[in-house]
Amino acid sequence: MSAIEIEGLTKDYPAGFLQLRRARALDGLSLTVERGEIFGFLGGNGAGKTTTIKILMRLMAPTAGRARILGRDVGDVAVHARVGYLPEAPYFYDYLTARELLEYCAELFGYARAARRARAAHLLRRVHLDESAWDRQLRKFSKGMLQRVGLAQALVNDPELVVLDEPMSGLDPIGRRQVRDLIAALRADGATVFFSSHIIADIEVLCDRVAILHRGRLSHLGRLDELRRDEDAAGHLEITVLGAAVATLEDALRKVEGARVTASPAGARIDVPAETHVDAALAAARACGARLVSVQPVRLSLEDLFVGEGPRTLHAD
């Protein structure tokens, strides 16, 4: 049984001054998140990440399609007792202290009085909130401190599935490192973590698999090494040459489709988008007196995949 199953998820919103037309936030999204994995959900502003998460959390109904969590339809209220959730912009009763908020959340999940206090203290330590702040009202907290409290409340019920919308938001580099360690520890404890982020480095470090959304559609899906390998197989190559100026090479390579020339410490670098163009690029470079140093495939980063043009789905086995 998968932790999350999404099939053909579509969401339309009313749009325009009179709200007579429809804007599509999600367009037939399908993906599966397996139990015990850390799954990264990446996309630009307006790509549909938060809309997807709200549908999973039963905060919004889809226009079409269906979603299941932990083997149950998202409309099943009972299954949400096994899920922890941190929204993108959480709001808490700011007259409460951090300890009071977590004890209140623990009470909602049926903890006895003594167990509530112990659970709150355990989680505040786990998210590295300084003990001097535990009994301070939340209205006096910084954004980073509130984010730590939000993470703690998402773990009150010891969830099997943890859904985090931008969990690194507002955190300094030390805080981000601590949250990364916490997410890794959750997986080690057997939980599944599904989180969205615009911080590509965090997803690269943490995630077993990643999905990239582009305008509500799935652009890439799979393990990072597989996505890079599939993109590399398209034949994007880097040629390094010596003995010719960049401007001269640019002029000579104008007729080679997609070729780009940049300066590099080793001389000049020619990027060609497909192996079929290599011979033409080499011939043009030699014609202006350049000497070949190397030809090698370009290793793409997650950022390269993220900013790549157009939706393209790559399914991993």
Sign of CA dihedral 283, 286, 288, 291: positive
Are 100 and 175 contained in the same domain? yes
Whether residue 302 lies inside any domain: the answer is no
Range of the domain at 254: 237-297
Are 273 and 148 contained in the same domain? no
pLDDT band at 315 (very low <50, low <70, confident <90, very high): very low
Whether residue 90 lies inside any domain: the answer is yes
Whether residue 304 lies inside any domain: the answer is no
Are 158 and 269 contained in the same domain? no
CATH number at residue 246: 3.30.70.100
pLDDT tens digits, one per residue of 103-158: 999 999 999 999 999 999 999 999 999 999 999 999 999 999 999 999 999 999 99
Whether residue 316 lies inside any domain: the answer is no
The pLDDT of residue 231:
55
> Which of 187, 209, 229 lies at the terminal end of a domain, its last residue?
229
pLDDT band at 313 (very low <50, low <70, confident <90, very high): very low
Whether residue 96 lies inside any domain: the answer is yes
pLDDT tens digits, one per residue of 204-227: 889 999 999 999 999 989 998 777
Whether residue 273 lies inside any domain: the answer is yes
Written as six digits, the tokens of 229 are 């390998």
DSSP 8-state code for residue 278: H
Whether residue 138 lies inside any domain: the answer is yes
DSSP 8-state code for residue 264: E
Are 200 and 268 contained in the same domain? no
Are 193 and 279 contained in the same domain? no
pLDDT tens digits, one per residue of 42-92: 988 889 999 999 999 999 999 999 999 999 999 999 999 999 999 998 999
- Residue 95 to residue 104: CA distance in whole angstroms: 13
Cα Rg of the chain (Å, integer): 24
CB neighbour class for 14 (10 Å; exposed up to 12, middle 13-18, buried from 19): exposed
Q: How many residues does the chain have?
A: 317
The pLDDT of residue 304:
67
Domain tally for the chain?
2
Contact 155, 82 (CB under 8 A): no
Contact 146, 170 (CB under 8 A): yes
Written as six digits, the tokens of 151 are 């993470």
The pLDDT of residue 162:
99
The pLDDT of residue 174:
93
The pLDDT of residue 229:
65
Are 70 and 123 contained in the same domain? yes
pLDDT at 233 over 70: no
Are 135 and 53 contained in the same domain? yes
pLDDT band at 228 (very low <50, low <70, confident <90, very high): low
DSSP 8-state code for residue 17: T
Angle at 278 between CA 274 and CA 280, to 5 degrees: 120
How far does Cα 231 stand from its chain's mean position?
19
Mean pLDDT of the region 312-316: 36
The full DSSP string for 95-135 is TSBHHHHHHHHHHHTT--HHHHHHHHHHHHHHTT--GGGTT
Residues 6 or more apart from 169 whose CB is under 8 A from it?
88, 143, 147
The pLDDT of residue 197:
87
Written as six digits, the tokens of 161 are 């599935």
Backbone angles phi, psi at 47, to 5 degrees: -75, -25
Are 220 and 278 contained in the same domain? no
Output the pTM of the full model: 0.78
Whether residue 115 lies inside any domain: the answer is yes
The pLDDT of residue 308:
59
Are 117 and 73 contained in the same domain? yes
> Which of 229, 247, 281 lies at the terminal end of a domain, its last residue?
229
H helices, E strands: number in the chain: 10, 14
Are 76 and 92 contained in the same domain? yes
Backbone angles phi, psi at 55, to 5 degrees: -65, -40
Residues 6 or more apart from 305 whose CB is under 8 A from it?
212, 220, 227, 228, 231
Q: What is the mean pLDDT of the chain?
A: 89
CATH number at residue 202: 3.40.50.300
- Residue 86 to residue 162: CA distance in whole angstroms: 8
pLDDT at 163 over 50: yes
Are 117 and 170 contained in the same domain? yes
> Which of 229, 246, 278 lies at the terminal end of a domain, its last residue?
229
Are 219 and 243 contained in the same domain? no
pLDDT at 232 over 60: no
User: Taking the CB of residue 222, how many other CB atoms lie within 10 A of it?
Assistant: 19
Mean pLDDT of the region 157-174: 94
